[in-house]
Amino acid sequence: MAHRFIEDSGYAREGFAALYDAYRPRPPTILLDTLCRIAATERPALVVDLGTGTGLSAREWSERAEQVVGVEANEAMVAEARRVTAAANVAYVSGFAHETELDDGCADIVTCSQSLHWMEPEPTFAEAARILRPGGVFAAYDYDPAPLVQPDVDAVWDDYLRRRREARELRGIPSGGDVWPKREHLDRMRASAHFRHCREIALHAVVAGTADSLVGFARSIGLSGDATEEELGIRDLDVAAHRVLGDRELPFLWSYRVRYGVK
pLDDT grade for 178, boundaries at 50, 70 and 90: confident
What range does the domain containing 241 cover? Answer: 7-262
The answer to whether residue 48 is domain-embedded is yes
Phi and psi angles of residue 209, each rounded to the nearest 5 degrees, phi first: -140, 165
Tell me whether residue 143 is in a domain. yes
CA distance linking residue 37 with residue 23, whole number of Å: 28
pLDDT band of residue 13 (cuts 50, 70, 90) is: low
Domain count for the chain, please give it. Answer: 1
Q: Is residue 2 situated within a structural domain?
A: no
> Is the confidence at residue 130, as pLDDT, over 70?
yes
pLDDT in tens, 46-92: 999 999 999 999 999 999 999 999 999 999 999 999 999 999 999 99
HSE toward the beta carbon, residue 43, CA cutoff 13 A: 6
Q: Answer with the residue of higher pLDDT: 106 or 6.
A: 106
Give the torsion through C-alpha atoms of 42, 134, 35, 55, to 10 deg: 100
Query: Considering the domain boundaries, does residue 98 fall inside one?
Result: yes
* Residue 214 CB neighbour total at 10 angstroms: 24
User: What type of residue sits at position 196?
Assistant: R
* 1, part of any domain: no
CATH of the domain at 66: 3.40.50.150
pLDDT at 97 over 80: yes
If you average pLDDT over residues 141-167, what whole number do you get? 94
Could you give the CA distance from residue 6 to residue 25 in angstroms, rounded to a whole number?
21
Pick the more confident residue, 219 or 175.
Answer: 219
d(CA 114, CA 181): 12
Q: What pLDDT does residue 11 have? A: 47
Q: How confident is the model at residue 1 (pLDDT cuts 50, 70, 90)?
A: very low
Q: Please tell me the distance from the alpha carbon of residue 129 to that of residue 133, in angstroms, as a whole number.
A: 8
- Comparing CA positions, the residue from 99, 111, 88 lying closest to residue 39 is 111
In a domain, 258, yes or no: yes
Question: What order of strands is seen across the sheet that includes strand 90-94?
Answer: 90-94, 67-72, 46-50, 107-113, 132-143, 250-262, 197-209
CA 73, CA 79: separation in Å to the nearest integer?
11
Residues sharing a CB contact under 8 Å with residue 47, sequence separation 6 or more, in sequence order? 58, 61, 64, 65, 67, 68, 69, 107, 108, 109, 110, 111
